[in-house]
């Protein structure tokens, strides 16, 4: 590998653009190929970011000898298959959350990563957001122990739209995508595996074919509990909000902002080199490649959260 890590990025939509913006801030990394569903729109994005190669076929990018690593920002249903293709082509891979939407597929990616020895990482961004890093650092220092996490993940998606308000070609999922963030974060922050999990869901949307509302309860082996409420029916405010209740305080994480339980804002600007969680996630991916090590958020590390999601799906009768 050259000193510059050369990257193919698949998915020129909302999250692909977030990664392109983040990578611009990282030295020694160059996106040389962009894969998109619609060629003309992908060319427009590529021109804006100076990406020389454009295609609608991931295999064409994987065939480029100069490509060292791939970032997948494609529809959920393609994640596992494309991750396997990248690894089989000898490319390091970072796949956006979720790793898969079936337990067996998630397992297959982890096994392939072990066999190839390549860096394989999943975009569990909450591990990298400075607000959550601040809490994690306090836990690591023995200054805070979680008793309970209360999390609300609320969007308004009664039609199939992406984060930019544009029509989406695939259907999002509360359990396999949005709950994956919190299930993994809860285990990561408590430092303890999830040993109990329960879920209920609301009616299935007649057109989208998914549950639009869901409630999940978790318990870690150390006794900590988590309550997660999710909705695609919520008409504002939108986003995910976290309440950490612990033995020495309460902390409220609202995206990149962090507050005490008394609404006193905590300065998290010095926690990392950036306030952009996607950029920090990408920095970890490229650092792991350079250093030949397992990244924070490796597919192996996040796999237990997908086993929990599988158990919850079985409970829900899916």
pLDDT digits (tens, 9 = 90+) for 31-74: 999 999 999 999 999 999 999 999 999 999 999 999 999 999 99
Q: CA-CA distance, 297 to 26, in Å (whole number)?
A: 19
Instruction: Give the pLDDT score at 170.
Output: 54
DSSP state, residue 205: P
What are the tens digits of pLDDT across the range 233-282? 999 888 999 999 999 999 999 988 999 999 999 999 999 999 999 999 99
* Residue 59 φ/ψ, nearest 5 degrees: -60, -35
Instruction: Give the pLDDT score at 209.
Output: 85
**pLDDT of residue 165 exceeding 60:** no
Place of tokens 């569990």: 124
Residue 120, both tokens: 């394989």
Whole-number percent of the chain with pLDDT over 90 = 88
Q: Report the Cα–Cα distance between both ends of the chain, in Å, rounded.
A: 44
Predicted TM-score (pTM) of this structure: 0.94
Q: How many other CB atoms sit within 10 Å of the CB of residue 154?
A: 19
What are the tens digits of pLDDT across the range 87-145? 999 999 999 999 999 999 999 999 999 999 999 999 999 999 999 999 999 999 999 99
DSSP state, residue 220: E
Q: CA-CA distance, 22 to 18, in Å (whole number)?
A: 6
Q: Are strands 257-260 and 265-266 parallel, antiparallel or unpaired?
A: antiparallel
Residues 61 and 55: beta-carbon distance below 8 Å: yes
Judge: domain 5-124+277-295, CATH 3.30.470.20: no
Residues 54 and 79: beta-carbon distance below 8 Å: no
- Half-sphere exposure of 208 toward its Cβ, with a 13 Å CA cutoff? 22
Residue 179, both tokens: 């709950």
Q: CA-CA distance, 184 to 108, in Å (whole number)?
A: 19
Distances (CA, A) of 1 to 50, 54, 61, 117, 296: 21, 22, 17, 15, 22
Instruction: Name the least confident of 3-7, 24-28, 107-111, 205-209.
Output: 205-209
Residue 13, both tokens: 């939509």
Domain boundaries defined on the chain: 5-124+277-295, 129-271
Residue 189, both tokens: 């922050």
Residue 206, both tokens: 């007649």
Judge: domain 129-271, CATH 3.40.50.1010: no
Distances (CA, A) of 181 to 186, 287, 308: 9, 22, 12
Q: Are strands 194-201 and 213-220 parallel, antiparallel or unpaired?
A: antiparallel
Q: What DSSP string describes 111-129?
A: HHHHHH---EEEE-GGGTS
């Amino acid at each position: 590998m050259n000193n510059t890590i050369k990257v193919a990025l698949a998915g020129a939509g909302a999250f692909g653009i977030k990664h392109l913006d983040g990578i611009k801030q990282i030295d020694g990394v160059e996106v040389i190929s962009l894969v998109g569903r619609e060629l003309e729109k992908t060319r427009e994005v590529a021109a804006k970011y100076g990406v020389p190669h454009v295609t609608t076929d991931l295999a064409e990018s994987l065939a480029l000898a100069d490509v060292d690593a791939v970032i997948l920002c494609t529809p959920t249903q393609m994640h596992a298959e494309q991750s396997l293709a990248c690894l089989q082509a000898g490319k390091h891979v970072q796949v956006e959350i979720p790793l898969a939407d079936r337990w067996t597929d998630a397992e297959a990616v982890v096994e392939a990563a072990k066999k190839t020895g390549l860096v394989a990482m999943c975009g569990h961004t909450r591990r990298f957001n400075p607000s959550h890093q601040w809490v994690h650092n306090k836990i690591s220092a023995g200054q805070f122990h979680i008793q309970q996490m209360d999390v609300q993940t609320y969007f308004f998606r009664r039609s199939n739209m992406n984060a930019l308000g544009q029509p989406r070609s695939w259907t999002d999922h509360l359990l396999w995508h949005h709950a994956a963030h919190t299930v993994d974060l809860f285990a990561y922050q408590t430092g303890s595996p999830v040993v109990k999990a329960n879920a209920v869901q609301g009616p299935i949307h007649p057109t989208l074919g998914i549950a639009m509302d869901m409630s999940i309860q978790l318990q870690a082996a150390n006794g900590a509990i988590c309550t997660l409420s999710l909705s695609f029916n919520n008409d504002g405010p939108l986003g995910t909000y976290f309440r950490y209740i612990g033995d020495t305080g309460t902390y409220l994480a609202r995206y990149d902002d962090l507050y005490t339980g008394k609404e006193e804002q905590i300065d998290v600007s010095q926690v990392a080199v950036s306030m952009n969680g996607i950029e920090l996630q990408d920095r970890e991916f490229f650092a792991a490649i350079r250093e030949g090590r397992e990244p924070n958020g490796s597919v192996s590390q996040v796999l237990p959260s997908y086993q929990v999601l599988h158990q919850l799906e079985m409970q829900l009768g899916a």
